[in-house]
């Protein structure tokens, strides 16, 4: 009997939530068949089977938070003993082992074992033949075993809002319960008659922990600079028409990211970390650029590794891939590792600027403000006049423990120079 234990998802995470079982007791599985979907503080991950055999018992319920290393499923693989005690023989990461299987149809969600208590959001569904035969069109669509069809994020939303999926009439494709179905059932948009309590977990818990730790270990200083970026706006239009950028989304974020990488070469002290325990400042040899992203799961900061080594086209493609992956909720723990500097774009929400909080062990972060049409003084001397220009405000927060005001100011000034006159990037 093989006992599969929750593998280490990395990034210092010690637990994960069982979001959805994709097998049930008695099912036959092959190596690399997907067994379960789990949610860590940073991502949704599918766990494949490391062995072939028959599912003997599910050891954890959907919605249950499980510690790394805890057994979650038993598979009868023909062996006479439980899983080996040698940790080297256990899967260490969120991947399968053995050869890749032939393409198979993904299993539909199945009911939880009868001997497991149901969560508050999902009461056990009855599945007798008589009850199935009397199901009306007004009841939610189910699989053959009576399980309501819903994606993991929808199931989690239902649990958080305290809504039983079985009570919802589905309107999604193929009879699935959609996010709007859950929100409607929860009465969102109406004046609540009482307070709704939502557990602090997942991305919200991780974000709260990270920002609190950042405030505790970094001495934040924030500087601002309002600049004319009409030339950057013009450059974006030129790049969009270039053959090299065909099929790519070009935005001012690309020019901001490139400006950060170019300015960092002059100011490597901004690409550093403060190691209080070792009594050292760690200067990094490449810029691993984090891009703060608002995703369906909350605020996440995936990282573009070696961003300073990429050409403008390569950097654009990396940003495009990052945005798509984030929006689809497919970011993995490795996508957040090793960041050395971050950019957050509050301008997409129409906000002029903010005071960003330094991410993780990094030493600085740049906030992009909204780019708006404003009156601006141009020219000098007798040629001085007011014209409508594209204007934005940058905000740079840095750790004053290792970055002096002069260093932070010069770094922000160099970024501003590139954005105001992109042709001057040739000087960097």
The catalytic residue positions are 400
Rounded Cα–Cα distance for residues 296 and 55 (Å): 33
Supply φ then ψ for residue 12, to 5 degrees: 75, 10
Indicate the burial class of 131 (C-beta count within 10 angstroms; 0-12, 13-18, 19 or more): exposed
Rounded Cα–Cα distance for residues 376 and 378 (Å): 6
Longest dimension (CA), the chain: 93
* Neighbour order of strands in the sheet with 28-29: 2-5, 71-76, 53-58, 28-29
DSSP string, 247-302: TS---HHHHHHHHHHHHHHH-GGGSEEEETTTTEEEE-SS--EEE-EEETTEEE--
Dig out the tokens for 257 from the structure: 């990211």
Contact 402, 281 (CB under 8 A): yes
Cα–chain center distance at 50: 26
Beta bridge partners of 48: 34
Rounded Cα–Cα distance for residues 272 and 288 (Å): 11
Rounded Cα–Cα distance for residues 77 and 15 (Å): 26
Q: Which residues contact 144 (CB under 8 A, 6 or more apart)?
A: none
Dig out the tokens for 94 from the structure: 């969120």
Dig out the tokens for 96 from the structure: 């399968």
């Amino acid at each position: 009997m093989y006992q599969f234990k929750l593998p280490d998802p990395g990034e210092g995470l010690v637990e994960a939530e069982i979001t959805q079982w994709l097998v049930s007791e008695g099912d036959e599985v092959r190596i690399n068949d997907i067994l379960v979907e789990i949610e860590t503080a940073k991502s949704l991950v599918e766990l494949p089977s490391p062995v072939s055999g028959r599912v003997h018992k599910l050891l954890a319920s959907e919605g249950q938070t499980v510690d790394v290393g805890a057994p979650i499923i038993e598979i009868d693989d023909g062996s006479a003993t439980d899983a080996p005690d040698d940790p080297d023989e256990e899967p260490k990461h969120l991947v399968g082992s053995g050869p890749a299987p032939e393409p198979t149809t993904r299993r539909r969600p199945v009911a939880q074992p009868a001997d497991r208590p149901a969560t508050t959001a999902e009461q056990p569904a009855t599945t007798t033949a008589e009850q199935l035969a009397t199901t009306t069109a007004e009841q939610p669509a189910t699989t053959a075993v009576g399980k309501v069809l819903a994606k993991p994020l929808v199931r989690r939303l239902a649990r958080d809002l305290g809504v039983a999926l079985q009570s919802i009439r589905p309107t999604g494709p193929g009879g699935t319960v959609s996010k709007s179905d859950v929100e409607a059932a929860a009465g969102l948009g109406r004046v609540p008659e009482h307070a709704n309590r939502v557990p602090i977990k997942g991305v919200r818990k991780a974000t709260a922990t990270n920002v609190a730790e950042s405030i505790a270990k970094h001495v934040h200083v924030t500087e601002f600079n309002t600049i004319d970026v009409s030339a950057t706006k013009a450059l974006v239009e030129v790049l969009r028409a270039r053959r090299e950028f065909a099929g790519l989304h070009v935005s001012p974020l690309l020019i901001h990211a490139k400006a950060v990488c170019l300015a960092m070469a002059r100011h490597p002290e901004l690409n550093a970390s403060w190691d209080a325990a070792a009594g050292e400042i760690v200067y990094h040899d490449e810029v691993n650029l984090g891009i703060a992203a608002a995703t369906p799961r909350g605020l996440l900061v995936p990282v573009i590794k070696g961003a300073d080594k990429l050409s403008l086209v390569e950097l654009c493609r990396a940003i495009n891939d990052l945005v798509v992956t984030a929006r689809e909720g497919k970011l993995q723990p490795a996508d957040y590792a090793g960041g050395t500097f971050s950019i957050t774009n509050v301008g997409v929400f129409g906000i002029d600027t903010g005071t960003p909080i330094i991410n993780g062990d990094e030493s600085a972060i740049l906030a992009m403000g909204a780019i708006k049409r404003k009156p601006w003084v141009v020219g000098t001397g007798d040629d001085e006049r007011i014209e409508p220009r594209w204007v934005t405000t940058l905000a740079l927060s840095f750790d004053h423990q290792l970055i002096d005001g002069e260093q932070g100011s010069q770094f922000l000034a160099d970024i501003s120079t590139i954005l105001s006159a992109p042709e001057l990037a040739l000087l960097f």
